[in-house]
Structure 1
Amino acid sequence: MAEGQNPRKHSDESVKLFVGQVPKHMTEEQLAAMLQEFAIVDQVNIIKDKATRASRGCCFVICPSREEADKAVDACHNKKTLPGASCPLQVKYADGEVERLEHKLFVGMLPKNVSEGEVSALFSQYGTLKDVLILRGSQQTSKGCAFVKYETKEQAVAAIKGLNGKHKMEGLTVPLVVKWADTEKERLARKAQKAQSLAASFANADITHPSLYGALPMGYISPYGYQATGSYGLMQYGLPPGQNQPSFPDVTPHANPLRGGTPRNYPVHAYPAVPMAYPGGMMSGPPSPVPEPVVNNLPAASSSGGASPGDHVEGPPGANLFIYHLPLEFDDEELANAFKGFGRVLSAKVFVDKATGVSKCFGFVSYDTSAAAESAINMMNGYQLGGKKLKVQLKRDNKQNEPH
């Protein structure tokens, strides 16, 4: 901190401003004195070149509150030109400051027919609301989630403590999810992580074995649900038959992944997936709504990382669920909270990529009774959460995987 500047301790309500078009000869003390004609300034930090330590013609300014920061912006931005500068000062909130100070919460697990008034009535018990926004689709139907903004951080914290995983809206058996909304920087980072995860999955795909997802040209689906096999089948998939090609058994009418059937005494992973059209040409996993193949009681996607069977406590038969299309930000605790309203949850596990730590957007939930699992399927299968509809189904055992 420059000499003579206010040594006031910074708080969560302090605001960082970025100031551009600053003459390079000005010192931090001179800038602080100039800005204090218009607003209270706690600190000025000139941004300097790392090599030469010379001013780069801009700085960061710390004000004690939004009110004081707004005073500086209103008085100086595009209005005041300092001696030696060719353009007026550029004074604005530093990146991420507006979102940090908005005290904005994300609310999930809302009823589809909920109104802004109902959300306001519930959340205003914890403080003064500045805004309520229910997220809606193209047909103006609620997506089951919303954003709320509080006047102070303390009010937002109280709402999280009072409602997250504890309060159920009328008509629902699952509690609300209430947490801090992502900032723009966090949203971009999450998108980048997801893109890296998809790229890594494609790079790690075994393209030498035509029985794995992504190994075959997309676009061919047998109209009869049969698996094309032998030399004729290879030609149907666009692969030239030859001595070095892997062989497949004859046409098997029961091996239609769309119907969940698999041939008796033949491992699931040895059968080609039904190819699906995709803009990118090929994909490393099955597209929705085709069910993910089951290998050793686990989705095939889990083979590259994430949880292992030992991480998941099984319930009795008929009490164990697969949940697909989970929001990317869901962790084990949030998955358990979303499904604990139907019965006693023995365990909940979201699968993550071992290399990147990014969620694969599916997981397991096990109850202590089959009745609880049935209730969860009835209520949550097709429930829209985070822009996608959840897919909830019973975990199949080896016997159920065999055709009868």
Structure 2
Amino acid sequence: MQTIPQSFSPPQGFKVFVGHIPLTMKEDELSEIFDKFGSILNISIIKDKKTSVPRGCAFISYGTKEEADNAINTMNATNQYIGDMNKPLQVKYSDNEIEKMERKLFVGMLGTSNEDQIKQLFSKYGNIEDINIVREPDGKPKGYGFVKFSMREEAEEAIRDMDSKQTLPGSTLPIIVKFADTERQKRKKQQMVGMPRPQMQQQQQQQQPWNNAGFYQQQQQQPPYYMDVMQQQQQQQQQQQQHNNENSNPFGQRFGQRNNYNHMNHGGFVDYSQQQQQQQQQQQGGQESNDLFIYYLPASYGDAELKNLFQQYGNVVSAKVFIDKNTGQSKCFGFVSYDRSQSAIQAINNLNGFHVEGKKLKVNFKRDRN
């Protein structure tokens, strides 16, 4: 008899989610319906973890993608009902399977590059199905976009070779290349909208590392697709909403370590209630304002770098780093002014305590001397 190593695990195959099945349905009954599409590796009826009561759905794993595609396309085309169910079977790839097959990339820090220039950069990695650079209403590029390859392996190679490896014309930071968010990732982030801050922090800690955030974190041994971009964070989140099923959302680990509050993780989701905003202002020791005072900036930062760091939270009216008149060197503090107070609040929520080039930023509302 052949001994199977303890580490052996059967092939996972391609997992399909099946919904709207009767609560009384068994695995063998479900197999009779779905085995005509191909070799079934596994069937699992989903049950409530606490009560063990079936939840009316299941997972079916096929040996090949073609078999899974056949099951999905055929069953959805026929709108088949089972038993006394008043809804037809719902058949689709599981969320995990969709993430494994993802081949669409988010690309950030594009500067002034256009579609032709981006295509020239990425076409050496494989067949590009689509390129979309997100633009302002006046046609000006926002500095980020999406590249979709024919195969995931092509996208993975592009990430390995391109992410953070070069700075494009018109950008002050290296290009960001990562897998775009899947629908499940977007749903998780949408669920965090308006979530109380302590609960949000706990939720984010549980979800790491799938959407870690920050600038150049020292954890660069992580696979590139776990790395998110901080720059353009809110702009890209808005782009998610505009493109419905288009996968997007950047946030990267660049420029220093993250502190124990994963604040960069939710730049696009800090939509607190008025009461929470007031509490935040009280904690910062200032009144609601459009103007911020920033301590402990890196010595290398000038006005442009300061503006670049803060502009993803809103329209920056002015950004000023103070310079010593005698030495010409930065005093490592400065001011940022937005056109609205909500932007200032979000900047504080995300950047106060954030590490940049070994410096831990302190971001407060600017106080009147009176």
Give 2:106's aligned residue.
106
Structure 1 segment 4-43 matched on structure 2, within 5 A = 9-10=11-12, 14-43=13-42
SS of the equivalent of 1:138 reads coil
SS at match of 2:37: coil
Aligned pair in 2 of structure 1 residues 398, 120: CA closer, same or farther (>3 Å)? closer
Match for 2:91: what amino acid? Answer: V
Distance in 1, matches of 2:148 and 2:117, equals 15
SS across alignment from 1:146: strand
Q: 1:20 to 1:199 in 2, by over 3 A?
A: closer
Q: Which of 258, 262, 265 in structure 2 is aligned with 1:357?
A: 262
Distance 2:154 2:333 in 1: 53
CA contact 1:48–1:55 (8 Å) conserved in 2: yes
Do 2:306 and 2:321's aligned partners in 1 also have CA atoms closer than 8 Å?
Answer: no
AA paired with 1:183? T
Q: Which moved more, 1:186-195 or 1:31-40?
A: 186-195
> What displacement does 1:65 show?
4.4
List per-residue Cα deviations over 1:248-299 (Å, max 9, x = no partner). xxxxxxxxxxxxxxxxxxxxxxxxxxxxxxxxxxxxxxxxxxxxxxxxxxxx
CA spacing shift, 1:185–1:358, aligned 2, 3 Å: farther
Amino acid at match of 2:45: I
Partner of 1:310: none
Percent identical across equivalent pairs? 29
2:279 corresponds in structure 1 to none
- Name 2:158's counterpart in structure 1: 159
Distance 2:146 2:175 in 1: 13
What is residue 279 of structure 1 aligned with on the other side? Answer: none
Report the CA distance between 1:183 and its aligned residue: 2.8
Q: Matches of 1:23 and 1:200 in 2, distance apart?
A: 35
C-alpha distance in 2 between matches for 1:364 and 1:25: 63
Question: What is residue 60 of structure 1 aligned with on the other side?
Answer: 59
Contact 2:165 2:174 in 1 (8 A): yes
The structure-2 alpha-carbon separation of the partners of 1:46 and 1:15, relative to structure 1 and needing over 3 Å to count, comes to: same
Matched, 1:366 2:298: yes
How far does the alpha carbon of each residue in 1:334-393 deviate from its partner, in whole angstroms, 9 at most, with x for none?
2x3xxxxxxxxxxx566x6x6x532397896525xxxx644xx34773699757457754
TM-score (structure 1 length as normaliser) = 0.49
Residue 94 (1) aligns with residue 94 (2): yes
Secondary structure of 1:77 counterpart: helix
1:70-109 alpha-carbon deviations (Å, 9 max, x no partner)? 2102221262646634454222233464454222221111
Distance 1:49 1:192 in 2: 21
* Alpha-carbon contact 1:382-1:389 (below 8 Å) kept: no
The answer to whether the Cα contact below 8 Å between 1:15 and 1:97 also exists between their aligned partners in 2 is: yes
Q: Answer yes or no: is 1:327 the counterpart of 2:253.
A: no
The separation in 1 between residues aligned to 2:146 and 2:158, in whole angstroms, is 13
SS of 1:37's equivalent in the other structure is helix
* 1:156, distance to aligned residue in structure 2 (A): 1.9
Is contact 1:96-1:184 (8 Å) kept?
A: no
Aligned residues of 1:79 and 1:89 also touching (Cα < 8 A): no
Query: Aligned-pair distance for 1:137?
Result: 2.4
CA distance 1:182–1:54, change in 2 (3 Å): closer
Q: Match for 2:177: what amino acid?
A: V
From the superposition, tell whether residues 160 and 37 of structure 1 become closer, same or farther in structure 2 (CA, over 3 Å). Answer: same
2 CA distance for matches of 1:18 and 1:122? 37
Post-superposition offset of 1:30: 3.2
Partner of 1:121: 120
Separation of aligned partners in 2, 1:382 and 1:49: 48
Q: Which amino acid is the alignment partner of residue 47 of structure 1?
A: I
Structure having the higher helix fraction is 2
* Residue range with higher mean Cα deviation, 189-198 or 87-96: 189-198
Report matched runs for 1:208-287 at 5 Å.
Answer: none
Q: Secondary structure at the match of 1:144?
A: strand
8 Å Cα contact 1:17/1:62 also seen in 2:
yes
> Does the CA-based 8 Å contact 2:38-2:63 persist in structure 1?
no
Q: Which residue of 2 aligns with 1:235?
A: none
Residue-by-residue CA offset, 1:29-78 (whole Å, 9 max, x unaligned): 33224312123432211123556645443211223444322210222126
Alpha-carbon RMSD across the aligned residues, in angstroms, is: 4.3
3-state SS of 2:21 partner: coil
SS at match of 1:44: strand
Q: Is the 8 A contact 1:135 1:145 kept in 2?
A: yes
2:307 pairs with 1:381: yes
> How many residues get paired?
249
Q: Which 5+ residue runs of structure 1 have no aligned equivalent?
A: 1-6, 202-323, 337-347
Distance 2:147 2:311 in 1: 17
Query: Match for 1:394 among 317, 321, 327?
Result: 321
**Residue identity in the other structure for 1:103:** R
Conserved 8 A contact 1:136-1:142: yes
Whole-angstrom CA distance in 2 between matches of 1:63 and 1:99: 17
Question: Is the Cα contact below 8 Å between 1:144 and 1:385 reproduced in 2?
Answer: no
Mapping of residues 177-216 of structure 1, within 5 Å: 177-190=176-189, 195-196=194-195
Query: Which has the higher mean CA deviation after the structures are superposed, 151-160 or 85-94?
Result: 85-94
SS at match of 2:36: coil
Deviation at 1:122, TM superposition (A): 1.0
Measured in 2, the distance between the counterparts of 1:381 and 1:170 equals 18
**Contact 1:105/1:147 (CA < 8 Å) preserved in 2?**
yes
Distance 2:130 2:332 in 1: 51
- Note if contact 1:100-1:183 (Cα within 8 Å) is conserved in structure 2: no
Q: 1:51 to 1:184 in 2, by over 3 A?
A: closer
Pick closer, same or farther for the CA change 1:385–1:330 going to 2, 3 Å: farther
CA deviation string 1:115-154 (max 9, x = no partner) = 2222122112122223222112233321100112223332
Amino acid at match of 1:77: N
| Contact 1:76–1:89, Cα closer than 8 Å, also in 2 | yes
Distance 1:399 1:63, change over 3 A: closer
